Structure 1
Amino acid sequence: MARVKLQDINKVYENGFHAVHDVSLDIEDGEFMVLVGPSGCAKSTLLRMIAGLESVTSGDLIIGDTRCNDVQPKDRGIAMVFQNYALYPHMTARQNLAFGLETARKPKAEIEKRVNEAAELLEITELLDRKPGQMSGGQCQRVALGRAMVRKPEVFLFDEPLSNLDAKLRVSMRMRISRLHQQLKDSGRPATMIYVTHDQVEAMTMGDRVCILKKGAIMQVDTPMNVYHRPKNKFVAEFIGSPSMNMLPGKLVNHEGQLGVQSVGQFFPLSEEKQALLSAHTDKDVFLGLRPEHVLIGDSCQKQGIRAHITGIEEMGAESFVHFDLQGHALICKLISPEHSLKHASEQSLCFRMDKCHIFDSETGENISLAQ
């Protein structure tokens, strides 16, 4: 295993495009780190730089104790699993698994042992004599994962490996990869894994920590639960979570001695804790952020609620997402195990869990309501 450290990494292409901006990231030995962000945020570029498939313009890339900026990919102690499997179509699964070890001139007995161990761990023993054209996408991806495993690398790199699979297979494979990481740790051979995805569900369910990127810069690095419950800025708050966090423009005002947010024609008082945190920001333009589960609907909102029109209802079985138009602003309410008779185009009363809200500076996007 190995620690991976990025220090002030930049990537500038020959045409002048600055893809990666001063990225510093410390990935611990045996950690599962997920790089996530929208298309074009440079997450795959960062991964390819770690792999040695892209050059580093400036900064230091350290794997273990070695500065690897100019080290050849084959000498970095890494193995990469690609989106398109990259298996040799004319070889069986066994031959694909063994190819890298044969090229490295490993003893036949050792090759056979490693191949069988990986096949057993990934439950592909019965597939060893099949060629890629005789296997499903999920089976091919397991073979590709096994090919990386047999090399016993210090670092595993995953470049959106599940994006070509259907929804059910994606769930199964992300569980397999997470289980593999835990099994290697339990066996005393923990592996550092760096996983690139645009799918926030993969990021939230697989990573020990999540690194969220925007236009080649880091927005936040934290545990999945912290990026959900304590987003550092408006971008992270809107990117993480499905449906996205609701945002209402407003202003922090002091009304009759109480600090709150004036928005959509109404005053929403803050909790005592948030008033203490935000007392120095009175009269600042802000965004009031609320997760869909913190928008309430029903009888409890009749007196203190605000009226809004339903524009759509998504029935998901155990939960429903109710879409509202609140004075021209879109709002989503999440109902758990709903038993309701809500109708499209009807009007309902809403109220907010202001003790759970987030307040974002409208200029910087910073979450100014977080306790330090």
Structure 2
Amino acid sequence: MAQVKLQNINKIYKNGYHAVHDFCLDIKDGEFMVLVGPSGCAKSTTLRMIAGLESISSGDLHIGDKHCNDVLPKDRGIAMVFQNYALYPHMTVRENLAFGLETRKKPKDEIERRVSEAAEILEISELLDRKPGQMSGGQCQRVALGRAMVRKPEVFLFDEPLSNLDAKLRVSMRMRISRLHDELKQSGRPATMIYVTHDQVEALTMGDRICVLNRGAIMQVDTPMNLYHKPVNKFVAEFIGSPTMNMLEGKLIKTDANKMAVDINGHIFELPEEKQVTAEQYNNHGVFLGLRPEHISMEAGENGYDANITEVEEMGSESFVYLDFEGKQMICKHVNPDVSLCKQSVHRISFNMDKCHIFDKSTEENIFIPTE
């Protein structure tokens, strides 16, 4: 049983700084949960409280059926993988992998078996007699992961483990970690994994669910696709997705045709029929119109709106087009190679309003997603 429950967890430092605010999260047995957010949002602090490396100011932490607020880290059934590997430099890979088991007085043959199994899964068998100084960053991180694996913990904790690796290695390692999670589940001994990152690509590709944090508080906990398509507030909408969601400040109005629309400096964008009833409750409210880059078209023709192209980033199969629309910078994801786009030119654009999001200016909440 490896369910992790955080109930009204707070972290207040001696200087009065309130880092974590009433954090409530139920992580299911065998789930891959990602904590994501900008630097300073307390995601690593939260992870360290789960690990027992930071004290809990108030609230309750349960790992399985055990109340763990005052339980020593070694007795929590967890294993942690750090950003900086934290390997013993004077030990070989074999010795690093075996060290935790030796301190727990495990039988020698069991230690050898566990070390061999982990090395084979992570493809580091040929590195067992090397020391950390003789290996690359990617190899060291695999050893760090192996050291956690051999302990067969109920809960794996990852604190930005890939941030020191180059882009290619990050892709490879996140696949290895995801594969490890799947293999443990298929073997009948699933492990709960809690993974901290500021990289939303890692979050979206790895997590069963993602917890988005800002300033020590939970913004939304949901599946990757729901976070992308149904953000509950402006912060989540802008944080999840690359390039970020475009935001245009405007006002909800009722047109002469009795339809709800967003007025942006005199430009009227009518909402689709299924959003009309909800929008009526916010008539004359200040709002933000949110649109993903892929929901802005560069092929609008006569029915579009003029925007100035300020920059074009060619990405191979697609282009990121930076636009100035009514003094606001926007980004469009353009995939049609037959349409020529030039910097410092005027182009007609249109918005796919069926995919739009409306955020109340005062609360920044998505008016189309009911809050609990």
Distance in 1 (CA, whole Å) between partners of 2:8 and 2:94 is 41
What's the counterpart of residue 107 of structure 2?
107
Could you tell me whether the CA contact under 8 Å between 1:286 and 1:360 is conserved in 2?
yes
Q: Does 1:281 align with 2:269?
A: no
SS of the residue aligned with 2:158? strand
Give yes or no for the alignment of 1:235 onto 2:235: yes
Report how far residue 337 of structure 1 moved: 5.1
Deviations 1:33-82 (A, max 9, x none): 00000000000000000000000000000100111000000000000000
Partner residue of 1:188?
188
Stretches of structure 2 that go unaligned for 5 or more consecutive residues are none
| Equivalent-residue separation in structure 2 for 1:337 and 1:170 (angstroms) | 30
Match of residue 72 from structure 2: 72
Determine the C-alpha separation between the residues in 2 that align with 1:333 and 1:159: 33
1:266 is matched with which residue? Answer: 267
Shift in Å, 1:335: 1.1
2: distance between equivalents of 1:339 and 1:17?
55
Structure 2 match to 1:223: 223
Could you tell me how far apart the structure 2 residues matched to 1:311 and 1:15 are?
Answer: 46
Letter of the 1:297 counterpart = M
Contact 1:3 1:63 in 2 (8 A): yes
Q: Is the 8 A contact 1:268 1:354 kept in 2?
A: yes
Q: How does 1:1-372 map to 2 (within 5 A)?
A: 1-256=1-256, 257-298=258-299, 301-336=300-335, 338-370=337-369
Aligned residue identity for 1:151: R
- Could you give the per-residue CA deviations for residues 126-172 of structure 1, whole angstroms, max 9, x where no partner exists? 11111101111001000000000000101000000000000000000
CA distance in 1: counterparts of 2:370 and 2:274, whole angstroms = 9
In structure 2, do the counterparts of structure 1 residues 66 and 291 end up closer, same or farther at CA, with 3 Å as the change threshold?
A: same
Instruction: Please report the TM-score for the alignment, with normalisation by the length of structure 2.
Output: 0.98
Task: Check conservation: 1:89, 1:133, Cα contact below 8 A.
Answer: yes
Distance in 2 of aligned mates of 1:303 and 1:354 = 17
- The 1-side partners of 2:248 and 2:68 are apart by 46
- Report the residue type matching 2:275 in the other structure: K
The one-character-per-residue Cα deviations of 1:208-232 (angstroms, maximum 9, x if unpaired) are 0000000000000000000000000
Q: Secondary structure at 2:237's aligned position in 1? A: helix
- Structure 2 counterpart of 1:254, one-letter code: K
Report the RMSD for the aligned CA atoms in angstroms.
0.9
Query: Match of 1:157, SS?
Result: strand
Cα distance in 2 for residues equivalent to 1:98 and 1:115? 7
Partners of 1:135 and 1:337 lie apart in 2 by 44
Please give the per-residue CA displacement for 1:106-140, whole angstroms capped at 9, x wherever unaligned: 00000001000111111111111111011110010
Distance 2:337 2:153 in 1: 48
- How far is 1:369 from its partner? 1.9
Deviation at 1:276, TM superposition (A): 1.9
Name the CA distance, whole Å, in 2 between partners of 1:74 and 1:366.
42
Q: Do the aligned partners of 1:249 and 1:287 also contact (CA within 8 Å) in 2?
A: yes
Structure-2 separation of matches of 1:339 and 1:48: 52
Distance 1:181 1:338 in 2: 40
Contact 1:277–1:371 (CA<8 Å) still a contact in 2?
no
SS in 1 for 2:303: coil
Q: Percent identity?
A: 72
Letter in 2 for 1:82: F
